[in-house]
Amino acid sequence: MIRDGQIDQEEMPAYSELTRRLGFEYNGMILHEYYFGNLRRGGMDRPTNGSPFVQAVERTFGHYERGKTDFCSVGMLRGVGWAICNIDPSIGLVSHHWVSLHEHGNVAGFLPILVMDVWEHAYLLDYQPHERKQYIEAFFSNISWSVVDERLQAACSAAVVPR
Ligand SMILES: [Fe+2]
């Protein structure tokens, strides 16, 4: 559409909707890549004591279990979306965010290190819609903590762009 150097009046409605939906469609793809990337069949239900992730959670919440409770509680919010543990690379602290649909609630400059899909399609084959809590428990038993640590370390070692 932009190849001829302009968006003319006839093109504007299609151009507008393609642009408006880009965050939904594109972030939906990216978040699923993070989600499946941090899953591992038969993973340990908790990270190793003293791991980079545990240290970051403890720095932020004081105790690992308190941080886990916060993340799981975010995952229990009504509606469809995502629970995301982000790292703020500029200060090395984590925070948990609810992302509605795929695009509302992402924080600029924060990087996802643990991503949980809580759209119903993520668990409807195994659980009833009201059994999201059991799905979240199962999710925690199938996490690749090494991937989470790698994301955290990569985020914190990357050059920090001043805000
Ligand atoms: Fe999904």
Q: What is the CATH number of the domain that holds 134?
A: 3.55.40.20
Tell me which residues have their CB within 5 A of the ion that is ligand 1: 117, 119, 122
How far apart, in whole angstroms, are the C-alpha atoms of residue 64 and residue 119? 25
pLDDT tens column, 116-157? 999 999 999 999 999 999 999 999 999 999 999 999 999 998
* 20 is a domain residue: no
- Ligand 1 center to 126 CA (angstroms): 14
* 43 is a domain residue: yes
* 94 is a domain residue: yes
* 37 is a domain residue: yes
* 17 is a domain residue: no
How far apart, in whole angstroms, are the C-alpha atoms of residue 101 and residue 120? 11
Please spell the DSSP secondary structure of 97-149, one letter per residue.
Answer: EEEETTTBT--TT-EEEEEEE-SGGGTTTTS-GGGHHHHHHHHHTSB-HHHHH
- Ligand 1 center to 163 CA (angstroms): 31
* 45 is a domain residue: yes
Say whether pLDDT at 160 is over 80: no
pLDDT tens column, 52-81? 999 999 999 999 999 999 999 999 999 999
> Quick one: 87 exposed, middle or buried, by C-beta within 10 A (0-12, 13-18, 19+)?
buried
Instruction: Give residue 44's pLDDT.
Output: 84
* 10 is a domain residue: no
Residues 6+ apart with CB under 8 A from 149: 47, 51, 52, 53
93-100 and 111-117 beta bridge pairing: unpaired
- Ligand 1 center to 16 CA (angstroms): 25
How far apart, in whole angstroms, are the C-alpha atoms of residue 95 and residue 78? 19
The stretch 36-48 carries a mean pLDDT of: 92
- Ligand 1 center to 102 CA (angstroms): 9
Query: What are the backbone angles phi and psi of residue 100, rounded to the nearest 5°?
Result: -75, 145
* 105 is a domain residue: yes
How far apart, in whole angstroms, are the C-alpha atoms of residue 36 and residue 39? 5
Task: Give the domain extent around 63.
Answer: 33-157
- Ligand 1 center to 28 CA (angstroms): 8
- Ligand 1 center to 3 CA (angstroms): 34
- Ligand 1 center to 36 CA (angstroms): 10
Say how many domains are in the chain: 1
